[in-house]
Amino acid sequence: MPDLAAKKKRPLWYNLSPFNLPVPGLVSIFHRVSGALLFLGLIWFLFLLDMSLASEAGFARFQAYVGHPLVKLALLAFLWAYLHHLCAGVRHLFLDIEMGLELATARKTAFAVFVVSLALTAFIGAKLW
């Protein structure tokens, strides 16, 4: 008679490629990547704040600088990173107080993180452009 218990202990193989992750997993890795990006961007944000508050001429230079299409594109990317990190963070706080832990709900809220952060990025981006 075959040993069924031994047969059931076959090793599990998880495909952890980002392209195979369920939505909550995608939110998670995007949370980490956006956080790392924002950390790298800190020096630039301080540079921009410094320039904008330095003087009247500095403010004019700041306006011309952020008016450049490439700079705008970079700012838009950072805006998305910030908003994704913020929305995923708020979802995380709810998970911490044990709200939305059920799989179906967790998937819905994860999907909502992508929708809300992208929509806010589009809205604020359009206003600032």
Question: Which residues are at the interface with another protein (CB under 8 A)?
Answer: 32, 35-36, 38-39, 42-43, 46, 49-50, 52-54, 56, 59-60, 86, 89-90, 93, 96
The nearest distance, CB 90 to another protein, in angstroms, is 7
Find where tokens 């589009």 sit. Answer: 122
Nearer to another protein among residue 3 and residue 56 (C-beta): 56
Number of neighbours of residue 39 by Cβ within 10 angstroms: 9
Nearer to another protein among residue 9 and residue 34 (C-beta): 34
Nearest to 89 by CA among 26, 28, 40: 28
Find where tokens 């599990």 sit. Answer: 12
The nearest distance, CB 54 to another protein, in angstroms, is 8
The nearest distance, CB 122 to another protein, in angstroms, is 16
* Interatomic CA distance for residues 107 and 115, integer angstroms: 12
Nearer to another protein among residue 4 and residue 117 (C-beta): 117
Nearer to another protein among residue 62 and residue 110 (C-beta): 62
**Residues 6 or more apart whose Cβ sits within 8 Å of residue 16:** none
C-alpha dihedral sign at 47, 48, 51, 53: negative
The nearest distance, CB 11 to another protein, in angstroms, is 23
